[in-house]
Amino acid sequence: ADTKKVLVLPGDGIGPEVMPQVVRVMQWLEKAGKAKFELTEGLIGGAAIDATGGPLPVDTLEKAKAADAVLLGAVGGPKWDDLPFDIKPERGLLGIRKELGLFANLRPAVVFDALAEASTLKLEVVKGLDIMIVRELTGGIYFGQPRGIETLPDGTRKGVNSLVYTTPEITRIGRVAMDLAMKRGKRVCSVDKANVLECTVLWREEMIKLQKEEYPEIELSHMYVDNASMQLVRNPKQFDVVVTTNMFGDILSDCAAMLTGSLGMLPSASLGAADATTGKRYALYEPVHGSAPDIAGQNLANPLATILSFTMMLRYSFDMMAEADLIEQAIQVVLNKGIRTGDIMQPGATRVGTKEMGDALLAEMDALAAA
């Protein structure tokens, strides 16, 4: 098989703790002769600030562009919270998304049967859940101009951010959502705040137009974001694909994470557009969770969100469906056996640490491969 170039960006907090567990899974695939990976490491976030003075070194960006896919841990932490806004760790993450044009953030919320009771919601509400949140990632209020903090002549301070979307930005994320839905339940719910914000009036109009012109088979519905957040906890199984703006998607996906039992279970893929001439598409895979400073450095973090982000890489960047299936099956077996990190701990289960979760997973991969 051809060699897959993967850039690994562990980042901060629990990032450098969960990443080695993914690397072990990659090494397992290599040993089994299923893939060849060329791994490079890079700095991002606080780790990059400490080493270079900025959260997104040019070297990292160049390595990311040269790679077939990027795997990221998490960035941020109290150590860097008092830095000037423009050089905070989070700017590194936002910067790499923007620089690589990763406009489509896929955040699937899937409930493993074994964890249906680990959710804070009732079993019947979440059992069998499989929804896909498609979050726009390089536009909206995260990037809109004008922005900033200014001091007016009378000494009053004013903070400004702008919610901005253009029609091409809306249409391209709409297409990603509808293409995905075509391979699933053919239902898309577009979440906006069209009763208040003009920008999302445009969003809704463009989604309607896109569905009419290009996706006659898709059943498109619309929901205001306040209602959507309520519906996600009331009856999440009503959704198939949800498509929404950058900030609404950020918030709704953390909410969806708790349906699956823990933020430590939720993976994501951030995808760019295919280059018109080369066909190459930048892709970055990252867990939805952050650097979890409260548990960092104690071997407590759940590595499964990052490992599941890697299986998304196998599916979306490398077309390695069988290998992704194998890893996900092994995760299922591990969970069925009651092996749990603290965040998904249940009565009667066996509590393990980050590394031991990796051990358990590799053992099940061995067993599945031998069977």
Annotated binding site for substrate: 97, 107, 135, 226
Binding range to Mn ion, per CB under 5 A, among 95-103, 188-196, 246-254, 307-315: 246-254
- Using alpha carbons, select from 1, 96, 15 the residue that is nearest to residue 303: 15
286 scored as a contact of Mn ion (CB under 5 A): no
Q: Is 285 one of the catalytic residues?
A: no
Tokens of 233: 């906890």
The length of the chain, given as a count of residues: 371
Residue closer to ligand NAD by CB (options 236, 303) is: 303
Residue closer to Mn ion by CB (options 89, 358) is: 89
Strand 144-151 with 339-340, pairing:
unpaired
Q: 142, 215, 282, 285: which one is catalytic? A: 142
Member of 17, 250, 286, 323 binding Mn ion (CB under 5 A): 250
Report the nearest approach of ligand NAD to the CB of residue 265 (Å).
Answer: 8
Between CA 38 and CA 26 the distance in angstroms is 10
Between CA 93 and CA 90 the distance in angstroms is 5
Residue closer to Mn ion by CB (options 250, 286) is: 250
136 scored as a contact of Mn ion (CB under 5 A): no
C-alpha distance from residue 241 to each of 9, 156, 185 (Å): 29, 44, 8
Between CA 340 and CA 354 the distance in angstroms is 10
The residues of the shown chain that bind ligand IPM, judged by CB under 6 A, are 76, 90, 93-94, 250, 288, 290
Find tokens 């407590």 and name the residue.
Answer: 300
Q: Is cis: bond before 267, omega within 30 of 0?
A: no
Report the nearest approach of ligand NAD to the CB of residue 326 (Å).
Answer: 22
Known binding residues:
77-90, 97, 107, 135, 226, 250, 254, 290-302
Report the nearest approach of ligand IPM to the CB of residue 288 (Å).
Answer: 6
Q: Is 193 one of the catalytic residues?
A: yes
Cα dihedral: 163, 164, 169, 173 (round 10) = 10
| Catalytic residue ranges | 142, 193, 226, 250, 254
Footprint of Mn ion on this chain (CB under 5 A)? Answer: 250
